Structures are given as C-alpha cells and as structure tokens.
Structure 1
Amino acid sequence: MKTAYIVKGYRTAVGKAPKGVFRFKRPDDLAAETIEHMMKQLPDFDRSRIDDVMVGNAMPEAEQGLNMGRLVSLMGLKSEEVPGVTVNRYCASGIETIAMASAKIQSGMADCIIAGGAESMSYIPMGGYKPVPNYETAKAGNESYYWGMGLTAEAVAEKYKISSKDQNEFAYHSHQKAIKAQKENRFQDQIVPIEVEDIFVDSKGKRQSKTYTVDKDQGPRADTSEQVLNKLRPVFAEGGSVTAGNSSQMSDGAAFVMVMSEEMVKELNLEPVARLVSYATVGVEPRIMGIGPVKAIPKALDQAGLKLNDIELIELNEAFASQSLAVARELDINQDILNVNGGAIALGHPLGCTGAKLSVQIFDEMKKRQLKNKYAMVTMCVGTGQGAAGIYEVF
C-alpha cells in the first residue's frame, strides 16, 4: 500500500451567519480563493497533475449546488482538466474528503488530490430550503431521525446528566481560550485573507459598498461571562438547558488540504505536514447523535494501533457543550489537550467545512508546539446519529 501525505493546508477565517462578514461571499468563491492561495505556495506545480478536487458540504443546494466540487475546481485552479466531486457526511464532510483522498492515493488510484470543505450558513439555512422528511418513516416511530440538533443536545444533557451550569462554564472557557489564541496570533499562519465587498444602503437610501479584508475569526466574544451565559433561556425545549450561548455558532467558511503520494512528494522535494493514520465512522441512536465520538474514537484508535494517551492534541467539534462534555467524560479525555484554542462554541461551525478546518488548525498548533512525529485527533458528532474520528501523524 502506498503512503499518502498532506503537504499543504489552509482555511479562511470563520464568519458568523447569517449577518456576518461573509454574508455577501458565496461559498464557492470562499473555496476557490482558499485553493488559489494554496496553489500560490506551489508556484511551479503543474496543476494538470491534480487528480481530483473533493469538496465537503452539508447542504449541497442553491449556491452550494450543481456539484459545487466541480465548479470550485474550475474556479480555483483555472483549469478544465481537473475534475471535482461534492461529498456530504454533514458535519464530518470536510474530514471525510481527506480520508477519501488518502484512501485513493494509498490504493494507487491517484497521486494528488485537493480535499476539504466549504459551507455558507448565511446563504443556505440549516436543513436546506426544502427539507422533506419521509412521513411513513416518522410515523413508524422514527421521528428522531428528523430531530433538530438542539433537541438531540437536550437528550444528551438529560441522559448523561450534564447540568446547565457545567454547559455554560464549558462555553465560557471556549471563548476565553479562543480570545487568548487570537491575541497570541495562533491562527494567522493558517488563515487565507479574503477580500469582501460589503453592500448596504446609506441613510439617504443610496446603494453603497465598501471593500475590506477578512483574516480573523469573527465568533469569539471577550465580553461574555458565565453570569451572562447563565441568564440565557433554553431555545429548544421548555425547561431545557441548551441555549444559544452553549451551542455552536452558525458559520461560513472554507478549508482545504493537498494530499499527495509519497512518490510525488519525493519527486517535488516537498516537506510533508501530516498523514492520516486512521479514520473511523460509526452509527449511534439519532436522538443522541452528539455522543457519536464515544464510539468513533476507540474505533479510530484501534485501527491505528494506538491508545488515547498516545494522542497529543484533540479537536472535538463543539456542536453543543452538552455533547462535548458527555464525550469528554465518557472517554475520560484529558482537558489539557482538548480544544486548546477554543472550539466551535466560540469559533463557529461551518458544517461541511469543519472537519478540514479543525485538521488545518491542529497541524498548525502541533507545529507551534514542536510536537514532531506525534499524533493528533480530529473528531465530531454527525447529524442523524453518526460519529467520526481521524488520527493524524504530524511532522
């Protein structure tokens, strides 16, 4: 079996949806500009040698439809020769493409693939514009297949006895870690500056526009506190504990990596960033979908022949504080290595982008900590009852 390496990886900043910095920026443009930036770091590379562009996306319709993967390939590479495909595993879509790219290269079916994800929750609402659940399936007692994610977070909080106080404390620390990371410029090396044209109507009713560059995540709030979070009302269930403050933010963003065969890496004299050691997906009860990583993480560790204490850093997507705490407690995860720069509650969760975004983040953080030839993990719960976990060796 061949070896597949990740040689480059970048992400955009993450904007808040639906009225954030990327509200006028299409997701295909975000993706294309991220890929363009990555290719500028390889100025002499023959783009026709790229075998595919894989774009993860959770709501592939409207501005994210028409096989966005192929359109992003055309737009980002300025070449008609490279194909493209769109991949949907909801919140794990971005890392799913990295796993698919790695597997194809390991099997000898490709030598170079660009993989990642993009999502605009400003353009496309959660669930898409026309969600149509199967009535007969729901009628048969399977209505939880179609539950909103907030209800599943409440179910997890109830089942695993996660208090409102603990959820809000977790959310507060997510913001504090993210603010600290921004002050220390821990994200800047990984973020692609994106130019945005902001269109608005002035006080005289005239159309105006201004152009600026976005290179900083919009979500972290320095002004939040546990007291403020404790005052927020539950939004998904009467008498519940899940609030807007202890849930992930709706977001816009894109992130991509270049995956390459060992032979091509040596030919081009490139330095690998990381390799995907293992990747596992699992199914769990849809009503408690947030617990997915509890099953996915042991499966990925078993594939890799590793133990949890072999992992130096973990990025666990903070879909909700309730599910993040439930996962951490069930697996006894060391809090000192978990989401060290904050998570999705502070930094945002652009659905199909998130798996790739967290991968880029963890590569960069491992490098900054000089953890060479060590292992890192990216994991998340996935809508309709799934979990995913990927383990990387980072160089």
Structure 2
Amino acid sequence: MSKQIQDAYLVAATRTPVSKRNGMFRHVRPDDMLAHVLSAVVGQVPGLDAGEIGDVVVGCAMPEAEQGMNVARIGLLLAGLPDRVPGITINRFCASGLQAVADAANRIRLGEADVMIAAGTESMSAMPQIMGNKVSLNPAIFDKAENVAIAYGMGLTAERVAAKWQVSREDQDAFALQSNQRACAAIAAGRFRDEITPYTVHAHLPGEGGTVRVSERLCEHDEGPRPDASLEGLGKLRPVFAARGSVTAGNSSQMSDGAGAVLLMSEAALKRYNVTPVARFASFAVAGVPPEVMGIGPVEAIPRALAAAGVSLGDIGWTELNEAFAAQALAVMRQLDMDPAKVNPLGGAIALGHPLGATGAIRAATLVSAMRRDPALRFGLISMCIGTGMGAAGVFERV
C-alpha cells in the first residue's frame, strides 16, 4: 500500500560563527561545535520532546580523526540528546550539509519520521592531522587520461573553468571584493545575529607558580570578512594554482571551521507542538559534470531542482551560491543568467569562509534567517559545486 508524500518544514536553524583555519576555533573540536549547534537548535522549539527526533543527519566532507567515528552520533550525545536518538554521518564533499537537509526532509516526506535534524560540521584547522592519516588515490586513476582529473586539486579545476568560460582575473577580483564588502556590511548591520549561536572558546594557559590559567573568549561574529579588502590589494596577489593563472588566495573561498544545524518537522508535528514553520522543503537535485571543471556543477543541478519544485529562476528571490572560487561562481551565474543582486546578498564563502561539509547547513541557517526578516521573500535557493565533478541545489519556499 503506497503512502502519499507529505511536506517537510524547516522550523529552526542556527550556526556557529565561522572561524578562519587556525583562527579562533583552532583548538575547538568539530564534535564540540556540532554538539553546540544541535543543543541550540533543539532549544529553539520550546517543549520539544527530543526523544521524538527520528535521526540526526550530519554532513562532513572529511569524516576522519577528530571528526570521524560517526561524528553525528558522538555530537548528539555530547549535546545531551536522549540515547534513543540515532545519528548518521554522510559525505558528499562540499554539498554534505545540504545533502543532510535533503535526506532529513525526505525521511519526513516518506512518513518515516515527524521530527528530524540536519547538520554539518567541519574543522579545516584539523585537516593536516586528518589528511595525514592515510589518503591514497587509486592508481587506476592515472591509467586513463579521462580519469586523471579525479586527482586534480580544486584550484586547478577553477583555473580550467576560468579559461573555458573566459572569466578574467579582473572580474574575479571584483567579485571577491564585493563578497567582502557585502559580508562586512551585513555584520555591521547585525544581519547574522539571529542565525548565529555564539560560541565560548576556553583556552588553558600557563599561570604564575606553575598554575594553569583558563581564559574565555566569546565568539559572536564570522572571522573571515576583510574590511580592508581592495582591488589594488587583490590585484597584487599571485596565482597559487597555475603559474600563468588567475585564481588567487584572495578570489578563492577561505579554509574555515564551523557547524550548522536545521530542525525539520512534518505537518503533524507542527500541530502537536503548535509551531509555525519558516519554510517548506521544496526540492533537491544533484548532477554530475566532468571532474576537471567541477565548479560548473550548479549549472546542471539548479535547473533540475527548479523543475522539481515547479518554479523558475525568476521566482527565486534569494540564492546562496557557494563561492568555492570567484571563477566558478561567475561562470555559473553567467551560464544561468542569474541576477547578481539576488546571489549572496550578504557575501559568500570568499569572505565568510567554507567549512566544507558544514557549509550547506550553515547557508540554510542564513536563508531561514532571511525568510524570517522578509515576508516578501517566497522562494530561496542553495547551491554549490562538488569535488570530483558534481553540483547540488535545493529549493525552499517560505510559508
């Protein structure tokens, strides 16, 4: 007997501030960041029976070392959720956090759960330890020319995109400057305040007489945006991935640490807890592209997600397009004829950072916050490219 697909609703979302790699969160564990946002998002729904959470789905792009051993389950237990709540860690590289939202929503849509949490966590400060464990590419990758791009670094793929879609260095730097300017303006205006749950970092330092002194620092704002960014400064940076290239540290996403979480409910749960949702999960799509131009992935994924939601790009009032690189973001926007004013209005990953598997959940918190502020904002879109040649996109409708 078949069941009717039901709607899944986003009712709460939050995130940590995003730290630069080896910045304010350099000694913060990713499972602690995860526990922090899980506890906070549950706390946004007064009276919620946490034991009713069907699953906690957590995205992580490098689920090893400090963020290994099913970090989802460890994080939820550290957050104090009941033992009966299960957790699963998933990996679709940079789309892991968005994939977590889609997977959690689909469990509700299929009638398998009434309450779900989707999240993401990533510490790129811990990446040397993680990558140092044992990363070994399959030698067969190098046996055929068409497979070699699997081993390309992301920066090299950005150079390929810049060349193929003719994105100039000047345009990349101008886009990067705009990302920083928008992010700094958003912070100054308090735009991120409602979506961020501040994190207190504790440091153990040597004190007098052999004692240990504990210091505290309350982290409330994203660390990456550069208020002093300028076209002149960006123009002086050397390419870092190709000798005669155009992709620099200044027009690429920042390596970062952070976590985000989203709480979803069925209509039955909304009524039971008397909760007013923010948005309805409308659709999700993922698509493959050649690995050597992985950054163009959203060009394939976005139209699929829009078609599944029954809307057009013109209906989308706010897009969170992950700025892995200015080259790929601009190529995607031009190929799809996207309105620049509606893409990353508060800045993107070039300024705000990109903690890999957490980014999708973090940007979901940004979109939810925007929908709360603006009653006229009906449809929102989250999209990103994915390493080894993929793109992902999700559509959300304000309710």
- Give the shorter-chain TM-score range: over 0.9
* Cα drift, residue 75 of structure 1: 1.2
**2:57–2:89 Cα contact (<8 Å) kept:** yes
Matched AA of 1:154:
E
Q: What SS is found at the alignment partner of 2:295?
A: helix
Which residue is equivalent to 2:49? 46
Q: What SS is found at the alignment partner of 2:131?
A: coil
Q: Does 1:386 align with 2:353?
A: no
**2:7–2:281 Cα contact (<8 Å) kept:** no
Separation in structure 1 between the aligned mates of residue 206 and residue 319 of structure 2, nearest angstrom:
44
Q: Does 1:13 align with 2:26?
A: no
Deviations 1:260-290 (A, max 9, x none): 1111111111010111101000000000000
Q: What SS is found at the alignment partner of 2:89?
A: strand
Which residue is equivalent to 1:81? 84
Which residue is equivalent to 2:62? 59
* Cα drift, residue 369 of structure 1: 2.5
**1:35–1:77 Cα contact (<8 Å) kept:** no
* Cα drift, residue 36 of structure 1: 1.0
Which residue is equivalent to 2:279? 274
* TM-score, length basis structure 1: 0.96
Matches within 5 A, 1:242-253: 242-253=247-258
Q: What SS is found at the alignment partner of 2:217?
A: strand
**Unmatched segments (≥5 aa) in structure 1:** none
Separation in structure 2 between the aligned mates of residue 2 and residue 353 of structure 1, nearest angstrom:
27
Q: What SS is found at the alignment partner of 1:191?
A: coil
**1:47–1:77 Cα contact (<8 Å) kept:** no
Matches within 5 A, 1:139-288: 139-141=143-145, 142-199=147-204, 209-288=214-293
Identical positions, percent? 48
Q: Does 1:99 align with 2:102?
A: yes
Q: What SS is found at the alignment partner of 1:312?
A: strand
* Cα drift, residue 304 of structure 1: 1.1
* Cα drift, residue 200 of structure 1: 5.2
**2:225–2:352 Cα contact (<8 Å) kept:** yes
* TM-score, length basis structure 2: 0.95
Matched AA of 2:23:
G
Which residue is equivalent to 2:6? 2
* Cα drift, residue 138 of structure 1: 1.9
* Cα drift, residue 35 of structure 1: 1.1
**Unmatched segments (≥5 aa) in structure 2:** none
Matched AA of 1:134:
N
Deviations 1:240-279 (A, max 9, x none): 1000000000000000011111111111110101111010
Deviations 1:293-332 (A, max 9, x none): 0010111111111111010111100000000000001111
TM-align CA RMSD:
1.7
* Cα drift, residue 101 of structure 1: 0.9
Separation in structure 2 between the aligned mates of residue 126 and residue 339 of structure 1, nearest angstrom:
32
Deviations 1:155-198 (A, max 9, x none): 10111111111100000000000000001000001100111013
**1:14–1:347 Cα contact (<8 Å) kept:** yes
Deviations 1:76-116 (A, max 9, x none): 13421101000100110001011011111111111111111
Which residue is equivalent to 2:328? 323
**Match of residue 338, structure 2, among 333, 337, 345:** 333
Which residue is equivalent to 2:125? 122
Which residue is equivalent to 1:311? 316
Q: What SS is found at the alignment partner of 2:229?
A: coil
**1:138–1:145 Cα contact (<8 Å) kept:** no
Deviations 1:14-44 (A, max 9, x none): 0000x20101110110010111112222342
